[in-house]
C-alpha cells in the first residue's frame, strides 16, 4: 500500500509539474479514464520518460485488476512444425521430410495428453505450422480425442492463419467453420498470427500468409460464435512505432464492437535461426515501454500479458511494474517456438517459482482459468 501511495503522489505531481504539456494532458486522461488517441500514443513512444510511463501504466493496471497478477496451469501441444508459409521472422517452420520437422499422430497426441490426466492443469494451448494436408475435421477430431481423455480441459487452439487455411480446406465459410469447431470442443483462440497488420510490413515479413484484415475478420467471426480470443502483436523487427499504434488501434476498434478479447500479448521478435537475424533485437527498455503503452492505449482490453517464455523471468518481473497483469502459465517445457529462435531459459515454471516471481514484485499471485475466472489467490 505504501508503494502504491507513493506512485499515486508521483502521478499527481506529474500532472502539475510535467514540462511537456501534451504529456500532462495524456496523464490527466489516464487518471480520469478517458481514451488516448493514436497521436498521443506516438507521443508516449517518442517523448515519455520510461519511469513516468511505468507510473501511468501501473495506475491503469490498478484500475483494471488491482494488485492481482494472473497465471494458469497449462501445457502446450504443437502438432506439427510443417508449414506452407515462408515467414522471414520464423525459426520454427520446416518442410515435409526436412531435418527437424515433426508430425504427431493421434496416438502421439493421446500419449502427451494422458501424461496430464490426473494433474491440476486446466488448459491445453495448441498452435503449430499450417500443414498442407490437414483440414478443419482433422483438427476437430484431434480436439475430440483430447476431450475424451481430459473432458474438463479448456482447449485454446489455433492461430488465425491456421484457422483460415483449415476452414478453406473444409470448404466452409468462417461462420460454418467456427460453429463446427465449437461442436468439436474448441473453447478459445490464443491470438497468434497477427504480427503487424500493416500491408507493406506484411509484404516483407510474411507475404504469403493471411492479411491483417483477414485476421481481424476471423476473430470477429469467432467472437460472434461465442468463442473468445486473445490478440497479439509481433514487435521489434522492421516495424515503426506508427505501425504498432495502428495495429493496436484496429484491435481496440474490434474490441469496441465485439468485446471478445480477453488479453493483449506483445510478442518480441527473437533473432536466431531466421532470415531477419541481421537486424538484432530490441532492448529490455523497449520491451517494458511497449508493455506500458499497450496498457495505456488498449483501455478496453482487460488484461496485458507478458509471455514469460519469450522474454525470460527477469524481464517478466520488471514488466509487472509497467502495466502487465498476466504472465501466462506453467507450460512444463512443452513449447519449442521461442527456444528454436534463441530463447535460452527452460520453458517451465513451477507453482512455487511463479508465486515467488509475482510476490517479489509486490503483487498478489492469482490462479485463473482460461477466461480469467479466479480459481484461487495466494495472499500469504
Q: Per residue, what are the HEC states of 186-243?
A: CCEECCCCCCCCCHHHHHHHCCCCCCHHHHHHHHHHHHHCCCCEEEEEEECCCCCHHH
Q: State how beta strands 123-126 and 364-368 pair.
A: unpaired
Confidence of residue 333 (pLDDT cuts 50, 70, 90): confident
As given in the structure block, the three cell numbers for residue 32 are: 480520469
Q: Mean of the per-residue pLDDT values for the chain?
A: 93
As given in the structure block, the three cell numbers for residue 257 are: 464492437
| Separation between Cα atoms, residue 206 and residue 149, nearest integer Å | 37
**pLDDT tens column, 49-102:** 999 999 999 999 999 999 999 999 999 999 999 999 999 999 888 999 999 999
As given in the structure block, the three cell numbers for residue 271 are: 533473432
Q: Is the pLDDT of residue 348 over 90?
A: no
Range 263-291 burial, b when 16+ CB lie within 10 A, else e? bbbbbbbbbeebebbeeebeeeeebbbbb
φ, ψ at 4 (rounded to 5°)? -65, -40
Look at residue 20 in the predicted model and tell me its pLDDT.
86
**pLDDT tens column, 34-57:** 999 999 999 999 999 999 999 999
Three-state SS at 1: coil
SS3 content of the chain, % helix, strand, coil (to 5): 45, 15, 40
Q: Is the pLDDT of residue 1 over 90?
A: no
As given in the structure block, the three cell numbers for residue 213 are: 484484415
Three-state SS at 295: helix
pTM for the model stands at 0.94
Question: C-alpha distances in angstroms, 365 versus 66, 322, 327?
Answer: 12, 16, 10
As given in the structure block, the three cell numbers for residue 72 are: 494458469
| Separation between Cα atoms, residue 69 and residue 152, nearest integer Å | 24
The domains found in the chain, sorted by start residue, are 2-56 (no CATH), 64-377 (3.20.20.70)
* Contact assessment for residue 241 and residue 275, using Cβ atoms and an 8 Å cutoff: no
- Within 8 A by CB and 6+ apart from 329, the residues are 71, 72, 73, 74, 123, 125
- Indicate the length of the chain as a whole number: 380
The DSSP code for 278 is G
Helix (H) or strand (E) holding 15: helix 2-17
- Within 8 A by CB and 6+ apart from 254, the residues are 216, 219, 220, 260, 261
Higher confidence at residue 6 or residue 248?
248
**pLDDT tens column, 264-296:** 999 999 998 899 999 999 999 999 999 999 999
* Contact assessment for residue 129 and residue 81, using Cβ atoms and an 8 Å cutoff: yes
As given in the structure block, the three cell numbers for residue 268 are: 518480441
Look at residue 334 in the predicted model and tell me its pLDDT.
83
Three-state SS at 277: helix
Q: What is the CA radius of gyration of the chain?
A: 20
**pLDDT tens column, 290-317:** 999 999 999 999 999 999 999 999 999 9
Tally Cβ neighbours within 10 Å of residue 367.
20
| Separation between Cα atoms, residue 377 and residue 286, nearest integer Å | 31
Q: Is the pLDDT of residue 321 over 60?
A: yes
Amino acid at each position: 500500500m505504501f508503494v502504491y501511495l507513493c506512485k499515486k503522489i508521483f502521478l499527481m505531481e506529474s500532472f502539475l509539474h510535467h514540462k511537456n504539456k501534451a504529456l500532462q494532458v495524456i496523464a490527466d486522461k489516464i487518471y480520469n479514464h478517458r481514451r488516448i488517441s493514436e497521436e498521443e500514443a506516438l507521443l508516449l513512444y517518442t517523448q515519455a520518460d520510461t519511469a513516468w510511463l511505468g507510473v501511468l501504466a501501473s495506475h491503469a493496471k490498478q484500475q483494471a485488476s488491482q494488485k492481482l497478477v494472473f497465471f494458469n496451469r497449462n501445457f502446450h501441444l504443437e502438432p506439427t512444425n510443417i508449414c506452407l508459409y515462408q515467414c522471414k521472422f520464423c525459426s520454427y517452420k520446416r518442410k515435409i521430410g526436412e531435418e527437424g520437422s515433426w508430425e504427431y499422430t493421434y496416438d502421439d497426441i493421446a500419449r502427451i495428453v494422458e501424461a496430464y490426466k490426473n494433474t491440476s492443469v486446466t488448459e491445453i494451448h495448441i498452435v503449430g505450422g499450417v500443414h498442407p494436408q490437414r483440414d478443419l475435421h482433422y483438427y476437430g477430431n484431434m480436439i475430440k480425442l483430447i476431450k475424451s481423455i481430459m473432458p474438463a480441459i479448456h482447449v485454446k487452439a489455433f492461430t488465425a492463419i491456421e484457422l483460415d487455411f483449415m476452414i478453406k480446406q473444409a470448404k466452409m465459410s468462417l461462420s460454418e467453420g467456427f460453429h463446427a469447431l465449437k461442436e468439436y470442443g474448441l473453447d478459445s483462440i490464443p491470438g497468434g498470427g497477427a504480427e503487424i497488420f500493416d500491408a507493406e510490413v506484411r509484404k516483407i515479413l510474411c507475404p504469403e500468409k493471411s492479411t491483417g484484415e483477414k485476421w481481424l475478420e476471423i476473430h470477429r467471426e469467432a467472437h460472434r460464435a461465442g468463442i473468445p480470443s486473445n490478440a497479439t502483436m509481433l514487435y521489434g523487427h522492421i516495424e515503426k512505432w506508427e505501425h504498432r499504434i495502428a495495429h493496436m488501434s484496429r484491435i481496440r476498434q474490434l474490441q469496441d464492437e465485439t468485446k471478445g478479447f480477453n488479453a493483449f500479448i506483445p510478442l518480441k521478435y527473437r533473432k536466431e535461426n531466421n532470415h531477419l537475424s541481421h537486424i538484432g533485437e530490441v532492448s529490455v527498455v523497449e520491451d517494458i515501454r511497449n508493455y506500458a503503452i499497450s496498457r495505456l492505449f488498449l483501455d478496453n482490453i482487460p488484461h496485458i500479458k507478458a509471455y514469460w517464455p519469450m522474454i525470460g523471468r527477469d524481464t517478466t518481473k520488471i514488466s509487472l511494474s509497467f502495466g502487465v497483469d498476466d504472465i501466462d502459465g506453467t507450460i512444463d517445457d512443452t513449447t519449442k517456438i521461442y527456444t528454436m529462435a534463441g530463447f535460452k531459459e527452460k520453458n517451465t515454471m513451477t507453482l512455487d517459482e511463479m508465486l515467488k516471481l509475482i510476490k517479489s514484485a509486490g503483487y498478489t499471485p492469482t490462479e485463473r482459468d482460461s477466461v480469467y475466472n479466479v480459481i484461487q489467490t495466494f495472499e500469504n
